[in-house]
Amino acid sequence: KGSRRGCVRLKAAIIGIDDEDDSTFTITVDHKTFHFQARDQEERERWIEALEGTICKQGGQRTLDHTFTLEDFEKKLMETDAYLQILIEQNEALEKKN
């Protein structure tokens, strides 16, 4: 608890919530499920909104008049990874306060 355990790739990730517990959620990607716990339901909702927004932005910025290159994709993936690292660090800081 409170230590960095790695990175979760968000490309094609699926966010899940547990109906029985209002503070936990999952991220499923590459046939692996990662479990996360927020302080409460409100914090969980903020996490889910931020993660879903990032996932949607990653896949939802294509336009018909622009062909994305592998370089474009790698740049977006790096940006998403950076946002994830920020979220992980903020979560660790919050866990240390508790």
pLDDT digits 0-9 by tens, 16-26: 987 788 999 99
The range of the structural domain enclosing residue 42 comes to 14-97
**pLDDT higher than threshold 80 for residue 66:** no
> Helix, strand or coil for residue 35?
strand
Structural domain count of the chain: 1
Q: How far apart are CA 60 and CA 39, in angstroms?
A: 30
Q: How many residues does the chain have?
A: 98
**How many Å is the Cα radius of gyration of the chain?**
15
Tokens linked to 44:
């969980």
24 within some domain: yes
2 within some domain: no
Instruction: List the CATH number of the domain containing 85.
Output: 2.30.29
Q: How far apart are CA 46 and CA 52, in angstroms?
A: 10
38 within some domain: yes
**pLDDT higher than threshold 80 for residue 38:** yes
67 within some domain: yes
9 within some domain: no
pTM above 0.95, yes or no: no
